[in-house]
Amino acid sequence: MSPIRLIVVLVLAGLTGVAVIWLLVRGSTSEQSLTHQVAVNVPQLSGAAASGKVVFDRNCVACHGANAGGGPGGPPLVHKIYEPGHHADISFVLAVKNGVRQHHWSFGSMPPIPGVSEAEVAQIIAYVRTLQRANGIR
């Protein structure tokens, strides 16, 4: 094998190794951190947050788990990725109305949730934001 060909093979092997390591590291942080359940401290709920828990339990708990801590079909919403600075309230409104393509997690795309009114979505948001604040997510 010529010296130039050997250098090309070694460079390609090195780049392949770097790519594999990058994929392993990337997969273990962003997506895997959202594929499990988290423990959620539940504060005393009142008003819109209490109403939101009822609506959440009726429409969202099957995927996002009890107290929005993650479940078999959806990520935990009590997670820093869903803090208001990254996912504003309108993100939740649009998710319920239109669904969401898979992007932060490996659960697949979220379908629209029919039959949930805008007022009920506002209650769900109040509930999730209350849980987030109680768990150090601002």
Nearby residues of 36 by Cβ (< 8 Å), 6 or more positions away? 70, 76
pLDDT truncated to tens, each residue of the chain (138 aa)? 777 876 755 555 555 544 444 444 444 444 444 457 899 999 999 999 999 999 999 999 999 999 999 998 999 999 999 999 999 999 999 999 999 999 888 899 999 999 999 999 999 999 999 999 999 998
Query: What is the reported pTM?
Result: 0.74
pLDDT for 10: 58
> 118-134 and 89-98 helices cross at what angle (nearest 10)?
130
Return the residue matching tokens 């379908």: 111
**Which CATH class name applies to 47-134?**
mainly alpha
Alpha carbon of 75 to those of 3, 5, 29, 63, 104: distances in Å?
Answer: 51, 47, 14, 8, 9
CB 38 within 8 A of CB 70: yes
Q: Where are the domains of the chain?
A: 3-34, 47-134
Question: How many angstroms separate the CA atoms of 42 and 54, rounded?
Answer: 14
CB 53 within 8 A of CB 45: yes
